[in-house]
């Protein structure tokens, strides 16, 4: 991701590895259930993946993440001002997929006006307005990851508001 402000690569890779392991565990649970002919749950079971800690985040400095598995890149941002859907003590932490829900291009973050921008076909999404498409070709807003903050400030992703580009199920 061509974020204008990047977190260090080492931490990003570490987190991505963690996400992969959790997704693998979730997938094997589903497969096991199917083999035993147990009825599938009506809703997708999302992994609970640790993305980082509140202390890792600086205002408007996006952190690369992956969720719900390593093939689904995303971004975690502390905006500095409370937004609807924001979590944390300041209500300002949000996370989104960075694959454009139009045709799956990897998007850029514009820290100046806090939008995700797609170089594929020029769509853009407002991370301060729940990932609403400001202008573009997508037919859903940007998938926003459901976040939970633990007592020690760890940030977990545990769901997605919309279907992530390029997959028939958010958890494969």
Partner 1 sequence: MSHKRQIDRLPIPPADAKVQNVSCHNCIVGCGYKAYTWPRNKQGTLTDNAFGIDLSQQQNALGTWIAPSMYNMVKQNGKDVHLAVVPDKECVVNEGLTSIRGARMAENRPSKVTGTQQQRLTDPMVWRYGTLQPTSWDDALDLVAQVTARVVTEGSEDDLVVSMFDHGGSAGGYETTWGTGKLYFESMKVKNTRIHNRPAYNSEVHSTRDMGVDELHYQYADYEMTDTIMVVGANPLETQTNLFLNHMRTGMENGAKFIMIDPRRTVAVNAAEEIAGKENVLHLAIKPGADMAVMNAILTEIVDKGWTDDEFINASTFQGGVAVAEDAGQPAALGSLEFAMESARMSLADAAEICGVDAADIAKAAAWIAEPKADGARRKCVSAYEKGIIWGNDNYRTVGALVNIALATGNVGREGGGACRLGGHQEGYYRPSDAHVGRPATYIDRLLISGGGKIHHIWACDHYKTTLNAAKFKQAHKRRSDMVKTAMDNAAGGSREELIDAIVGAVNAGGLFVVDVDIIRSQIGENAHVVLAACESNEMNLTSMNGERRLRLSEKYMDPFGNSKPDCLIAAGIAQNMERALRELGEDAYADQFKGYDWETEEDAFMDGYASGNPDVTYDRLRAMGNNGVLEPVVGYENGKLIGTERLYTDGVFTRHGREDGKALFCAAGWRGWQAAGKEAEMAKFKFWVNNGRANIFWQSQFLDQDNDFIQDRFPFPFLEMNPADMDDIGAAPGDLVEMYNDNGATQAMVYPTDTARRGDTLMVFGSPSGSQGNIVNPGVNELMLPDYKHTWANIRKVADAPESAKRISFKSKEYTS
Residues contributing to the site for partner 1 (CB under 8 A): 43-44, 46, 71-72, 84-85, 99-106, 108, 110, 112-113, 115, 117-124, 126, 128-141, 144, 159-163, 165-172
- Residue number, 54 or 129, with CB nearest to partner 1: 129
Token pair, residue 14, equals 């570490």
Q: In what order do the strands lie in the sheet with 73-78?
A: 63-66, 73-78, 93-97
- Residue number, 78 or 102, with CB nearest to partner 1: 102
Phi, psi of 59 (to 5 degrees): -60, 130
Residue tagged active-site, from 2, 11, 121, 148 = 121
Contact by Cβ (8 Å): 105, 121 = yes
- Residue number, 38 or 43, with CB nearest to partner 1: 43
| Least Cβ distance, residue 67 to partner 1 (angstroms) | 12
| Least Cβ distance, residue 97 to partner 1 (angstroms) | 11
| Least Cβ distance, residue 151 to partner 1 (angstroms) | 26
- Residue number, 71 or 154, with CB nearest to partner 1: 71
| Least Cβ distance, residue 149 to partner 1 (angstroms) | 19
Q: In what order do the strands lie in the sheet with 108-110?
A: 108-110, 115-117, 124-126, 132-135
As a residue count, the chain comes to 172
Buried b (16+ CB within 10 A) or exposed e, 14-50: ebbebbeebbeebbeebeeeeeeeeeeeeeeebbebe
* 137 has catalytic annotation: no
* 102 has catalytic annotation: yes
Q: Which residues are part of the catalytic machinery?
A: 102, 121
């Amino acid at each position: 991701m061509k974020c204008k402000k990047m977190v260090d690569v080492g931490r990003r890779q570490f987190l991505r590895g963690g996400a992969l392991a959790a997704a693998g565990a979730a997938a094997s649970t589903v497969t096991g259930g199917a083999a035993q002919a147990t009825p599938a749950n009506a809703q997708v079971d999302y992994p609970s993946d640790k993305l980082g800690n509140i202390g890792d985040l600086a205002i408007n400095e996006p952190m690369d993440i992956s969720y719900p598995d390593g093939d689904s890149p995303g971004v975690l941002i502390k905006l500095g001002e409370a937004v609807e859907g924001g979590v944390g003590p300041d209500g300002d932490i949000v996370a989104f997929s960075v694959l454009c829900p139009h045709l799956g291009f990897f998007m850029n973050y514009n820290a100046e006006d806090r939008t995700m921008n797609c170089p594929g076909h020029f769509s853009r999404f407002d991370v301060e307005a729940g990932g609403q498409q400001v202008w573009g070709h997508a037919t859903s807003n940007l998938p926003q990851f459901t976040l939970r903050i633990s007592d020690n400030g760890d940030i977990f992703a545990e769901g997605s508001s919309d279907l992530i580009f390029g997959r028939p199920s958010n958890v494969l």
